[in-house]
Amino acid sequence: MNFIETRGNAEGFAPKVPFSYAIQHPSASYGGLYVPEALPELDSAFLEKMQGRPYTELAFEILALFGIDIDEAVIREALALYEKFDNPKEPVPVVKIEEDLFVSELYHGPTRAFKDMALQPFGHILSDLAKKSNQRYLILAATSGDTGPATLESFAGKENIQVACLYPEGGTSDVQRLQMVTEDAPNLKVIGIKGNFDDAQSALKSLLASERFKEQLRKSHINLSAANSVNFGRIIFQIIYHIHSYLALLEQGEIAMGEKIYITVPSGNFGNALGAYYAKKMGVPIEKILITSNANNVLAELINSGLYDIRGKKLIQTNSPAMDILKSSNVERVLFDKFGAERTRELMDALNNDLHYSLTPEELALLQEDFAAIDSDDAYGMEIIRRYAEKGYVMDPHTATCIKAYENLKERDLKMVICSTAEWTKFAPTMLMAIEGTEENRSDLEALQRISEKLHIPITPSVKALFDKEIIHKDVVEKDAIESKILQFIQS
């Protein structure tokens, strides 16, 4: 299968490219993204056949239907990484928490967030391409806490790939920071910057625009690539677990074949939600995809009113930092799918130049055929965490926003699967405040211990071990020192 571009095709760009190209060079014409030319169809016979089969087999079958140009042996090695999750037989447990509510626990991988679902296999595939083509890659990441650890973990020790990761000092939890600064491999560089996530991201952007930086990369024959979800190499793995959710409910006898379900996704860059949209289009019986936002409610506003508007908006720091976002990259792929390249380019140009765009009423109606959305805030999230912990289910602050959709957006009496995107251990101080109903902000370690004792749940061993590991990456710098740090790193 080939890939085409969301903003149309410019001179100098191939009109169609294979998967391997799209993941090595993720920026398309006019700043657009790559999308599959068509999607494979999954009928009920396929779903029937896949019932009860291991996750890795399902994933293999889906990738085969996409017909990606990656060697079968490499795909199998990439998917075998799921067998290192907590339960090798079931990397993504789907757990019942209410009569009609289920949680797809996407966080059982090495860094305890759902980013591992895509970055583990994607890292293997990209590294293999780099090795075979004898090309060097530099992957730059700016993280608010989950992408960084998952990217580092995925590429640690890989040939021909270097990763430079920027995180806002003080802007992540201790666990997230330790996951990065203790990651020990010569091809990794982790730099704390003085500022917030916005500063980290804009530092990365100015780096990408710097002639001196680009010249150095050219001289050293280094290609630049991205591991964020603009890369379709991540999205493809994020379709699979939504199909798996449907199969899990079938296997558990909760639904009959063909019965529709809701899927609820706590959204930021919209990669996870886009995966659910593709799964629906491919034929999985999904009634609607319900999107939750936090106080940064651009996505909920778009889906409810057709207006994407960031004029005068400032990023609000919340308890669900991975959803703190103003420009959500993957919405573009849905716009393209529904309205075509010309209109997508027009809308994205409007967003870049005028900081807003508006869908027509007809366009909004098309969007609402597949999506509904609601926003939540920290107070609501804290209340939900406390309430479910009392009932015996522990969910992190991102996952908690999904309950708002469960309580407000169901128009039909159907079962719902919510995506749990992180383990509670990554946000222990917030969790403890919610559970104890206090404002006292404790350290991660203390909060982990108190929650573990109080709720009689274990602290994940890899998280506990972080506090005794050696700190490898000690750099914390001002924004203007980043470029030279990274140049030093790639020349070393």
Ligand X SMILES: *Cc1c(COP(=O)(O)O)cnc(C)c1O
* Footprint on this chain of ligand X (rule: CB under 6 A): 113, 115, 146, 229, 266-273, 322-323, 398, 421-422
Q: Which is nearer to ligand X, 109 or 266 (CB)?
A: 266
Residues near 384 by Cβ (< 8 Å), separated by ≥ 6?
395, 400, 403, 404
CB 104 within 8 A of CB 245: yes
- Smallest separation (angstroms) from ligand X to the CB of 422: 4
- Smallest separation (angstroms) from ligand X to the CB of 458: 20
Single-letter amino acid, residue 296: N
- Smallest separation (angstroms) from ligand X to the CB of 145: 7
Q: Which is nearer to ligand X, 47 or 298 (CB)?
A: 298
- Smallest separation (angstroms) from ligand X to the CB of 248: 20
- Smallest separation (angstroms) from ligand X to the CB of 281: 17
Q: Which is nearer to ligand X, 50 or 113 (CB)?
A: 113
Residues near 261 by Cβ (< 8 Å), separated by ≥ 6?
245, 246, 249, 255, 285, 286, 287, 414, 415, 416, 417
- Smallest separation (angstroms) from ligand X to the CB of 18: 24
Q: Which is nearer to ligand X, 222 or 348 (CB)?
A: 348
Nearest to 450 by CA among 435, 461, 465, 460: 435
Q: Which is nearer to ligand X, 55 or 241 (CB)?
A: 241
CB 137 within 8 A of CB 223: yes
- Smallest separation (angstroms) from ligand X to the CB of 398: 4
Distance CA 447, CA 73 (A): 43
Six-digit token string for 139: 């992957």
Residue with tokens 């990738």: 63
Q: Which is nearer to ligand X, 303 or 323 (CB)?
A: 323
Q: Which is nearer to ligand X, 19 or 270 (CB)?
A: 270
